[in-house]
């Protein structure tokens, strides 16, 4: 059976708000790791993947894996009956066709209980290849929302181009064309300089502008410690797939395969941080963990709420449907930042990472662009 107690019903409400227009029905795959949802959008163009880790719950118990087939419209309705700060408990018996939701007002005598019918849904769990991307743009989620909303007024598509200049969002419409350029934020770790994405693995094929080889002291920045402040926080290294997303349990079975963990280091912790210091022989073997905690709070560059971080190994230029991006951007309420991960001719990954989970969208580029 499942019993999952969420401190704030608001999280679930926001998640549902974010995806309910994209997907009508989906399986909530519950297992001891947490709750995962993965679904194609109704027109089979986009893919959404949601995870709430077990640790993200106030209490979590799931004896054995069970898929809960949920009509998201129904769940949205039921969740509308909860206040954001209600404590929300999800319960389901094994093989049950009902999901029980209990809302406890934080401070009152009010207890609301709902039971929602479940349904059988063919779970076409799609394995998502763990792609390595040529470019990653991290920007405030509200900035992203604004950009796609603005451009959607002009045209239907947006070309996203990452170059040394920065990241450009360009759209063409009948009435007008628009182009928005975001430069790397000055004062950031890289001092405004666009850095290379490091490969996740030991692959050094990418052009790293600088190397983590650096000693711990300045491993934070390219510039000579001009911005030391950052350093103190987490060890920032421009790398890879998901620095903020600690969870590397990529959706699908793919991650399960464990192929990904090419940990040069034997430490999972580190690897999960995406900070791979192959030669970190130096001092810290453990500090990585520390960084993790600190980052959960704030202070990590990636958590800088206002900055734009651009990492790239290669120029990318891709065109996407704005309609979907606008839809994705609804998740902005879940996280201050969003990451756009791109490689040419590969689906875009739009990732929002929050405390103990994430919501990620994949969208194939339009062809014939660029």
Partner DNA sequence: CTAAGGTGTT
Partner DNA sequence: AACACCTTAG
Closer of 77 and 106 to a copy of itself (Cβ): 77
Should residue 10 be labelled a site residue for DNA when binding is judged by CB under 7 A?
yes
**287's tokens:** 């500090």
State which of positions 72-91 bind DNA (CB under 7 A): 83-85
* Cα 234 from Cα 241, distance rounded (Å): 17
* Cα 322 from Cα 316, distance rounded (Å): 18
Minimum Å distance from CB 291 to a copy of itself?
22
Q: Order of strands across the sheet with 34-40?
A: 66-71, 25-31, 34-40, 46-53, 357-363, 348-354, 337-342, 135-140, 309-312
Pattern 18-37, DNA, x by CB under 7 A: --xx----------------
**57 close to 6: Cβ distance less than 8 angstroms:** yes
Closer of 71 and 125 to DNA (Cβ): 71
Closer of 39 and 308 to a copy of itself (Cβ): 308
Should residue 330 be labelled a site residue for DNA when binding is judged by CB under 7 A?
yes
Q: Which does 330 bind (CB under 5 to 8 A by kind): DNA, a copy of itself, none?
A: DNA
By the criterion CB under 8 A, which residues form the site for a copy of itself? 71, 73-74, 77-78, 80-81, 109-117, 143, 150-151, 153-154, 166, 174-186, 308
Q: Which does 185 bind (CB under 5 to 8 A by kind): a copy of itself, DNA, none?
A: a copy of itself
Closer of 142 and 226 to DNA (Cβ): 142
Q: Select from 141, 131, 155, 70 the least CA-distant residue to 344.
A: 131
Token pair 């389901």 in the structure block, residue = 92
Closer of 64 and 80 to a copy of itself (Cβ): 80
Would you put residue 45 in left (φ > 0), alpha (ψ -120 to 50) or beta? alpha
Minimum Å distance from CB 76 to DNA?
7
What are the b/e assignments for 76-105, b being 16+ CB within 10 Å? bebbeebbeebbbbbbbeeeeeebbbbbbe
- Segment interacting with DNA (CB under 7 A) among 14-22, 191-199, 214-222, 274-282: 14-22
- Segment interacting with DNA (CB under 7 A) among 120-128, 142-150, 204-212, 309-317: 142-150
Minimum Å distance from CB 175 to a copy of itself?
4
* Cα 129 from Cα 349, distance rounded (Å): 12
């Amino acid at each position: 059976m499942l019993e999952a107690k969420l401190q704030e019903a608001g999280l679930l409400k926001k998640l549902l708000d974010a995806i309910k227009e994209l997907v009508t029905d989906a399986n909530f795959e519950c297992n001891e790791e947490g709750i995962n949802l993965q679904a194609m959008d109704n027109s089979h163009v986009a893919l959404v993947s949601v995870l709430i880790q077990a640790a993200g719950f106030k209490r979590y118990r799931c004896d054995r894996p069970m898929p809960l087939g949920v009509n998201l419209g129904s769940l949205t309705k039921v969740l509308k009956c909860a206040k954001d700060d209600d404590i929300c408990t999800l319960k389901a018996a094994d093989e049950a066709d009902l999901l029980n939701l209990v809302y406890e007002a934080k401070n009152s005598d009010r207890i609301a209980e709902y039971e929602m019918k479940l349904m059988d849904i063919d779970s076409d769990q799609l394995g998502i290849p763990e792609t390595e991307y040529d470019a990653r743009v991290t920007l405030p989620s509200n900035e992203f929302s604004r950009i796609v909303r603005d451009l959607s007024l002009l045209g239907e598509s947006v070309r996203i181009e990452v170059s040394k200049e920065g990241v450009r969002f360009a759209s063409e419409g009948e009435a007008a064309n628009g182009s928005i350029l975001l430069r790397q934020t000055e004062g950031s770790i890289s001092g405004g300089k666009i850095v290379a994405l490091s490969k996740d693995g030991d692959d050094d094929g990418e052009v790293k502008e600088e190397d983590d080889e650096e000693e711990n002291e300045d491993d934070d920045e390219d510039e000579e410690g001009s911005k030391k402040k950052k350093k103190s926080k987490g060890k920032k290294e421009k790398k890879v797939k998901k620095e903020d997303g600690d969870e590397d349990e990529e959706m699908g079975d793919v991650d399960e395969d464990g192929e990904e963990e090419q940990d040069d280091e034997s430490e999972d912790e580190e690897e999960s941080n995406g900070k791979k210091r192959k030669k970190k022989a130096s001092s810290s073997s453990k500090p990585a963990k520390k960084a993790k905690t600190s980052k959960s709070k704030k202070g990590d560059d990636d958590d800088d709420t206002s900055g734009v971080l651009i990492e790239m190994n290669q120029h990318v230029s891709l065109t996407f449907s704005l309609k979907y991006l606008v839809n994705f951007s609804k998740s902005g309420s879940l996280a201050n930042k969003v990451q756009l991960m791109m490689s040419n001719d590969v689906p875009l990954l739009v990732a929002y990472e929050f405390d103990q989970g994430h919501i990620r969208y994949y969208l194939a580029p339009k062809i014939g662009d660029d």
